[in-house]
Amino acid sequence: MALEAGLQFDYVSLAAGTPARWDDVLGVATFDGGGTPLPGAIPVAHVHTPVLLGSNVREVWRTAQPVESGQFSQVKYRRSDDLLFGCVSLTEASGLPAATEAAYREVFAAVNELGYPHLARIWNYLPQINVETDGLERYRQFNSARRNALIAYRRELTGNVPAACALGSAPGSPLVVYFLASRKAATAVENPRQVSAYDYPPQYGPKPAFSRASILGDILFISGTASIVGHETVHLGDVVAQTRETLTNIEALLSEANRVSGTDRFSAQTLAYKVYVRNSADLPLIQSQLEPALGSKAPVLYLHADICRQDLLVEIEAVGRAN
């Protein structure tokens, strides 16, 4: 899938054949926590969320521009003239809050020092996201610690903030953060059907600092999207209805992205999707809603993962280029 000039995105199954070349790869995310080692110094985010269909699937970001690999402290990266892909993985030796704040400080220091200060998209994976420890759910601990790092680096907490997601990975796995950053700022997009995450009422704990979507040139990044209207989860216990509501929210984001960009450029048929499924037994029901809506040719990756709210059964993110 071609994105902004010089950037391409694909889900690649190495079981079906290894890509012919890796010298144009900007960065990779693997799932199931591992996979065959890649050549050279390609940054790889090893995410521990099992793939539900297929195996050894990789999320591959490529660029037509020359690339340079490196490491800044604990952030492994590869960059072109315009874009930087980076990843960091930390164990929770001193607890999740300390690991989260350390990871984000590493990310902010790296993008500032390397000259790509504008984060467009961030992915976060932490084990046992819904478990309560020390009197607070781990997702809320994560949000509080991320907020501390944002404040320390004088980053925006509201408004034009990156698209993002936070999912639960396998117990015992490390905190994994990977990201795409740019020399130019992306444009945040909010969903008119939802309260912005950074404006959630106090009942949800420390406020998350992310946008519902972001536009970078011709690229639309849709954050993890679920069955939320206003600020409340709807269709409790009904995975079919939650999937439909999630698709309605994605359509609303597409309409808002087109309004913000001033053209009718983005559509559901030009996106690639990543679908997080809380209960693997629900996969056929989710597919029964997605396939008619997205078409048989849409790239879709299904992963088994816990979601930031315990009452959410499915979450969907997407990326694509304007028509």
The tens-digit pLDDT sequence of the chain (323 residues) is 444 556 788 898 765 545 557 888 999 999 986 666 676 689 999 999 999 987 778 999 999 899 999 999 999 999 999 999 999 999 999 999 999 999 999 999 999 999 999 999 999 999 999 999 999 999 999 999 999 999 999 999 999 999 999 999 999 999 999 999 999 999 999 999 999 999 999 999 999 999 999 999 999 999 999 999 999 999 999 999 999 999 999 999 999 999 999 988 899 988 999 999 999 999 999 999 999 999 888 999 999 999 999 999 999 999 998 87
What's 141's DSSP letter?
H
Query: What is the C-alpha radius of gyration for the chain, rounded to an integer number of angstroms?
Result: 18
**C-beta of residue 146 within 8 angstroms of C-beta of residue 205:** no
What's 37's DSSP letter?
P
pLDDT value at residue 271: 94
Q: Domains in the chain, start-ordered, CATH in brackets?
A: 7-321 (3.30.1330.40)
pTM summary value = 0.95
Look at the block and give the residue holding tokens 């011709």: 218
Which tokens belong to 273? 């999707």
Q: Which of 209, 166, 164, 161 is nearest to 186 (CA)?
A: 161
Q: How far is CA 228 from CA 80, 191, 282, in A?
A: 37, 11, 19
CA-to-CA distance for 308 and 181, rounded, in angstroms? Answer: 24
What are the DSSP E strand ranges found in the chain? 7-13, 25-30, 44-46, 57-63, 68-72, 75-79, 83-90, 118-127, 132-133, 136-137, 163-169, 175-182, 187-189, 213-216, 219-225, 228-229, 232-233, 271-277, 300-304, 314-321
Which residues have CB under 8 Å from 119's CB, separation 6+?
Answer: 107, 111, 162, 179, 180, 181, 186
**C-beta of residue 209 within 8 angstroms of C-beta of residue 150:** yes
pLDDT value at residue 290: 96
Q: What are phi and psi of 314, to 5 degrees?
A: -150, 145
CA angle 313, 224, 198 (to 5 degrees): 110
- The type of residue at 9 is F
Beta bridge partners, 180, equal 85, 121
Catalytic residues: 315
Which tokens belong to 44? 């790889």
CA-to-CA distance for 265 and 210, rounded, in angstroms? Answer: 23
pLDDT value at residue 226: 98
What's 3's DSSP letter?
-
